[in-house]
Structure 1
Amino acid sequence: MDRARLQDLLDRETAEAARRGPRSRGAYGRAEHLFGRVPMTWMNKTAGPFPRYLATARGARVTDIDGQEYIDFCLGDTGAMAGHSPAPVAEAVQRRFTDLGGATAMLPTEDAEWVGAELTRRFGLARWSFSLTATDANRWAIRLARAVTGRPKILVNSYSYHGSVDESLIVVGEDGAGAPRPGNVGAPCDVTLTSRVAEFNDLAQLERALAHGDVAAVLMEPALTNIGIVLPEPGYLAGVRELTRAHGTLLINDETHTFSAGPGGCTAAWGLEPDLLTIGKAIGGGVPAGAYGLSADLADRLLGRADLDLVDMGGVGGTLAGNALSVAATRATLEHVLTDAAFARMTALSERFAAGVRAGIEAHALPWSVSLLGARSEYRFADPAPRTGTASAAAADPALEDYLHLYLANRGILLTPFHNMALMCPDTTARDVDTHTEVFAAALTELTA
């Protein structure tokens, strides 16, 4: 690739983004009371000199305050996988908040049992509890795993994503040993004191780590996502389950992003048998919501422990967790929006998206690949696609990513800013997908001219 040409194109698209967004640029410049000028500092992870500011969002479309409309394949990095403000969720929220009142009253609602039963139908775990985020669901699942096993350490895959969970911010270093993930902010202790790590798709490395006998749980995504999609090789996930059982270690599936694989995520699609499962983002239809599920045996073992304070100050829960509004939104999302039929349509569109991208890559003989996980697709700057998190991280190309993101955004298409991921929602259309195929092909033509 001609890097000088890439830089010229990136400079052109950056200037065009600035030209198209005077109101967003002004709002960003005036945001002097926000840390990093944004509500959350990760909002600065955007191609271009400033983030676009949201005005409206409906279905698979967002509009910024400069009046620019976008086909949204980002969808809140999975948080809006149900689409923006789906009508059944909006109606449920309106009814709970305005008609009935009581968004949060520290009292259960009947909706919660419906949601628990539906999550059991989809994922197979027998007992459920709620949180506001998947990060908190992971934190609480980790506490329960340590309590029931009496072991101190958690094992994760290198460059996996589990939110801001301290134990998860560990990677495989150059010497093959565990090392802090680069850039981690304010770690409470050396992460190797709390965690072990193994590469995704590496059963031998996992077995060596578990042989120490101090790992309470393996917390893993069934497929890596936030470092770029890394799919499991044949037999890998079955091997993980066999090894964890052999070493008395619990298995936690984090399905927050891999929910895209189908109505029951990878767990149902691939017949997995975790001891615990965590999920968040998409299940609330845009309203903050998360949940964790436990096997019946594990739940009974925990509830039978008189020494564990699961009611008051035991560190498992939050005042707003399981609030009536979030639970109502979750029920509406699961019952009426992210249905089995919706996932079938979304997956078909994702396959169409991947085929269009693959055609563009092949037309220009680029050494890239496409990875597909149900309703989620992603193009990678490597062929074959990386098989581990460390290899996936090494395949990143920030300048190339920024060029593609800006080229698409300047022509009305948004991808997830953290990588080249496109997600389908129930409102995404075939025309939306084909528009991306056409614009992506044009971007490659300019890049390789």
Structure 2
Amino acid sequence: MTSSGISSQAVAQFFAAEQARFLQRNPRSQALAERARQSLFGGVPMHWMADWSTPCPLFVERAKGARFHDVDGHEYIDFCLGDTGSMFGHSPEPVAKALAEQAGNGLTTMLPGEDALVCGELLAARFGLPYWQVTATATDANRYVLRWARAITQRNTLLVFDGCYHGTLDDVMVRQRDGRTQHRSGLIGQAYDLTEYSRAIPFNDIPALEAALAQGDVCALLCEPAMTNIGMVLPDPGFLEKCRELTRKYGALLIIDETHTISTDIGGCTRLWNLEPDFFVLGKPIAGGVPCGVYGCSAEMASAMQAARQRASAGSQGHGHSGMGTTLSANALAMHCMRANLEQVMTVEAYQHMLPLAQRLAEGLRQVIRKYALAWSVTELGARCEFQFCARPPRNGAEAEAAFHDELQMALHLYLINRGILITPFHNMTLCCPQTTAADVDCLLHTLEQALGELLGIPGARL
């Protein structure tokens, strides 16, 4: 038996059968995959698109709401939703309308329009920070905020939690191993030593947090309110309050990245839990699926940013480059879509629909786990939940990673895909969107229960 409680041989046989089923069901995807290998590296436009559980990439034809269709004519209930990029459903009507409206009125000009100031006002009202900037992605937002943090504090070291997710910012590509910060495994083309100015510590470890900050060289703690990319890990009671207290005590800034945890509440964990960050970062769903990211800051930080600009420009006669911004940042199309999304899609009503469905799903997952006496657990955060192959929810990245069982995870994912259900790849996370229904949730639970029954040798089991 594996640590998951299911035989490795059963998993391998189960997975092989599902691979054959996928290939039989998806001849058009197979043909496109073969063609794509002639022009796209790895046969996909971004290499990680080949890392799903399917034996060849699943090619999508169209997506709307909580569903998408593949090129072979199959419909899927989507609990992945672009790993939060389409958290409010695929192509929400107000965003689709905004795209059409702006299409004939200019896509990018390097100049602001009225949409920009309305978005600033909406963001300030929603998240409680008065000043905002717009980027192309959350990765860019994190990169720029880190520059500001270093300039403001005159310190260089960034503190992150082991297993964190902050996009592809170079400085966060570190892990902690045996008490030491190291480069993440698989990191490609890294020319300089990230550990010189990046430090990783375990989540939920207050002594480690204080010890790292007490060295006096940390410019900022960049963190998710709950970890979401190593498997979901929730903060212990009082831990985030301690993060705020200790960063202030030792002169470091607190940066809260809510790119995934925005699933929790319309104001994110920041407003729900009163986190009081110096900087706030959000990407993926903020413009309804159109590429866009934002970062906000307190009034104190805005003054410090202005002072940093003046220091950087001293003696340069006004010339120079901050190292922040791209010509497509805050483009007219993204701003118009963000305004529509904030005003009409990312609403209280949307969360009121999503949150109870995620609770229904989480409780249903627990029932399935109990039924089969599996030593698994379920973690939930707003509209997001995940089943994990460990008896108790993990408290840090190392515990979450120790619960991984890649073969079992991929086998279960492929079983679901073959029956018209998609969940987030690389771990067992789900999202509910405003178009998700109770029937969709029940279908996922029923199908997962069937999969586990087959794996455990009791086909046809029911809740």
Both structures adopt the same fold (TM-score exceeding 0.5): yes
Partner SS, residue 304 of structure 1: helix
Deviation, 1:60, is 0.5
Deviation, 1:308, is 3.2
User: Match for residue 184 of structure 2?
Assistant: 181
> Structure 1: which amino acid aligns with 2:269?
C
Matches within 5 A, 1:377-392: 377-392=385-400
User: Match for residue 35 of structure 1?
Assistant: 41
CA deviation digits over 1:35-58, x for unaligned, max 9? 221100110120021110010101
Matches within 5 A, 1:234-249: 234-249=237-252
Alpha carbons 1:47, 1:405 under 8 Å: kept = yes
CA deviation digits over 1:12-68, x for unaligned, max 9? 011111111111111111112112211001101200211100101010000011111
Matches within 5 A, 1:137-156: 137-156=141-160
User: Match for residue 203 of structure 2?
Assistant: 200
User: Match for residue 14 of structure 1?
Assistant: 19
- Determine the C-alpha separation between the residues in 1 that align with 2:118 and 2:401: 40
Does residue 274 of structure 1 match 2:274? no
Matches within 5 A, 1:6-405: 6-31=11-36, 32-98=38-104, 101-173=105-177, 175-305=178-308, 306-308=310-312, 313-405=321-413
Partner SS, residue 14 of structure 1: helix
- Determine the C-alpha separation between the residues in 1 that align with 2:331 and 2:189: 30
Deviation, 1:383, is 1.3
Misfit runs of 4+, over 2 Å: 307-312
Deviation, 1:188, is 3.1
Q: Which runs of 5+ in 2 are unaligned?
A: 1-5, 458-463
- Determine the C-alpha separation between the residues in 2 that align with 1:203 and 1:169: 22
Alpha carbons 1:287, 1:329 under 8 Å: kept = yes
> Structure 1: which amino acid aligns with 2:166?
H
Give the TM-score of the pair, scaled to structure 1. Answer: 0.98
> Structure 2: which amino acid aligns with 1:28?
A
Partner SS, residue 219 of structure 2: strand
Deviation, 1:312, is 6.0
Deviation, 1:390, is 1.3
Q: Percent identical across equivalent pairs?
A: 49
> Structure 1: which amino acid aligns with 2:115?
D
- Determine the C-alpha separation between the residues in 1 that align with 2:205 and 2:25: 46
- Determine the C-alpha separation between the residues in 2 that align with 1:188 and 1:320: 27
Of residues 409, 413, 419, the one that matches 2:421 is 413
- Determine the C-alpha separation between the residues in 2 that align with 1:110 and 1:187: 41
> Structure 2: which amino acid aligns with 1:211?
A
Give the TM-score of the pair, scaled to structure 2. Answer: 0.95
CA deviation digits over 1:370-396, x for unaligned, max 9? 110101111100110111011111211
Alpha carbons 1:338, 1:426 under 8 Å: kept = no
CA deviation digits over 1:165-196, x for unaligned, max 9? 111011111x2111111111112311111201
Alpha carbons 1:284, 1:333 under 8 Å: kept = yes
Alpha carbons 1:369, 1:382 under 8 Å: kept = yes
User: Match for residue 3 of structure 2?
Assistant: none
After TM superposition, the structure 1 stretch with the greater mean CA deviation from structure 2, 23-32 or 229-238, is 23-32
- Determine the C-alpha separation between the residues in 2 that align with 1:18 and 1:299: 55
Alpha carbons 1:401, 1:420 under 8 Å: kept = yes
Q: Which runs of 5+ in 1 are unaligned?
A: none
CA deviation digits over 1:99-119, x for unaligned, max 9? xx1110111011111111211
> Structure 2: which amino acid aligns with 1:60?
A
- Determine the C-alpha separation between the residues in 1 that align with 2:156 and 2:235: 27
Of residues 443, 447, 450, the one that matches 1:435 is 443
User: Match for residue 461 of structure 2?
Assistant: none
- Determine the C-alpha separation between the residues in 2 that align with 1:212 and 1:235: 23
Q: How many residues align?
A: 446
> Structure 2: which amino acid aligns with 1:222?
P
